[in-house]
Structure 1
């Protein structure tokens, strides 16, 4: 199996390459750096435009490979790397097709350069894949850096109290074992700005949040009782007035992974992102791995 990185110069920077290298090195898998270049129309033209278009597509692929080679030449880890430029009118479809052909374990993508440093900003291609990919997606925050030498220091699994989430924890536990990293289970709760009318006050919201916390503590403990995780697995709860505050209320190692499952209401064996997962991704300070439903 291969770790596939979707790479295009000036779109996403080198974060996806650093994350792809980190994951390939940790998993002991080869790395494939894939650039989607424009595909020509099926009907040839009598004008010179076809030749010019083909030359443009070739140059896009060559620039992407040269940039990726320059970035990856700085590492000291040994990973087998291949480079491909694949034609496609849809970047998301071409990446999925290539990932399938290469038997990809993960498809790694970077963040849009329009987003905030250190956060994941979903561009058009990533957005489509977050609602259709049959392959696990790994998303790098903008500006992400990893020398890959130390592998993955920890895998945190986002958990909510339902059967689907329990299955996700079980799958993520396997991921953590695969990358030789300790597992942590984390639940996040947000005190909404308009949970109750102003005359009732914040105390009611705090009381509801406290009750939710008690339920989550019990749900996390049941993971141990059911044998989903070992008793020594760290279990934490993050809360706040918003999702950013909730995620930042717990500690993070800058190169750990946050893993979560996609919604079960979407197509089977596909990523289909719900609103809660989308908010967690948007505020995550570390790379995120999204598993397809199933």
Structure 2
């Protein structure tokens, strides 16, 4: 299974994409293709790096000409039949390269964010569950990734402790009841979706805290963990796959994020 790493000069000084790409390539047992996108008519030679040495991974270096970086990487992913495309650290907001690529290429896109310089094995895959239209398919991608890398699976929903449709005058007790109902609903949906995939040993949880960011950081993360999120979660703030807190989940995640279009598992 080929891992395609997008080499975008000047955007990844720490080489996070290459480190994460190497980890994924070793885990998936396939080659790594390091791809540079150049504009039509540009000389690719100055931008294309030499093939790096990555232990246990066959590395190929290539370039492709295209008017847009997402378009070029999408074409390269198709040409090399890539299972996943890896990019360096980038804000996963609307219009970002990662978000546009995940939709254009119809392939998961891994962002080498915080924790991406960890070189150990992938130990756990957490799926951010929001119960939206593509939630089951996003979960299927996370489960597939975990199975192929030998990692465990965790499914997590995140929400703010306050603001769950409880008016302030209703009091803390009423708020706690609503949060508990939300937690039971999320975890029940998670377990049902896992059962459909034949998964019986995954951890499920629904975390609520003062803010979504605190809920995300408070659940504990392994150094070798990945977070799988639906690509639609980087859309507009009020129409995201995870609900309104979607963008906050992405901002707060302390591990590399895999954006998936939610239409297919790994190829």
TM-score, scaled relative to structure 2: 0.82
State whether residues 114 and 254 of structure 2, in contact with CA within 8 Å, keep that contact through their aligned partners in structure 1.
no
| Unaligned segments of structure 1, at least 5 residues | 41-53, 267-271
**2-side partners of 1:60 and 1:19: how far apart?**
21
Return the match for 1:141 from 113, 123, 141: 113
Shift of 1:15: 0.8
Corresponding residue for residue 219 of structure 2: 250
Q: Does 1:87 align with 2:59?
A: no
> Measured at CA, do residues 170 and 85 of structure 1 come closer, stay the same or move farther in structure 2, by a change above 3 Å?
closer
Aligned-partner Cα distance in 1 for 2:226–2:198 = 17
Report how many aligned residue pairs link the two structures: 256
Q: Pick one of 214, 218, 225 that aligns with 2:188.
A: 218
**What is the match of residue 235 of structure 1?**
204
**Contact 1:111-1:123 within 8 A present in 2 as well:** no
| TM-score normalised according to structure 1 size | 0.75
Q: Look up the match of 2:83.
A: 105
* Range with greater deviation from structure 2 (122-131 or 77-86): 122-131
TM-superposed CA distance for 1:182, in Å, is 1.3
The residue number in structure 1 matching 2:45 is: 58
CA pair 37-171 structure 1, distance change in 2 beyond 3 A:
closer
Name whichever of 126-135 and 7-16 sits farther off: 126-135
Structure 1's 222 and 183: CA in aligned 2 closer, same or farther, altered over 3 A?
A: same
Contact 1:111 1:122 in 2 (8 A): no
Hey, which of these two has a bigger chunk of strand by percent?
Answer: 2
8 A Cα contact 1:12 1:142, kept in partner: no
Give, in whole Å, the separation in 1 of the partners of 2:38 and 2:137: 38
Matches of 1:162 and 1:126 in 2, distance apart? 21
Q: Aligned-pair RMSD on alpha carbons?
A: 2.9
In structure 2, what is the equivalent of residue 31 of structure 1? Answer: 32
Q: Is the 8 A contact 1:136 1:292 kept in 2?
A: yes
Q: Which moved more, 1:6-15 or 1:199-208?
A: 199-208
Unaligned runs of 5+ in 2: none
Answer whether contact 1:110 1:142 (CA < 8 A) is retained: no
User: Measured at CA, do residues 121 and 160 of structure 1 come closer, stay the same or move farther in structure 2, by a change above 3 Å?
Assistant: closer
Larger Rg: 1
Shift of 1:33: 0.5
Distance 1:123 1:290 in 2: 14
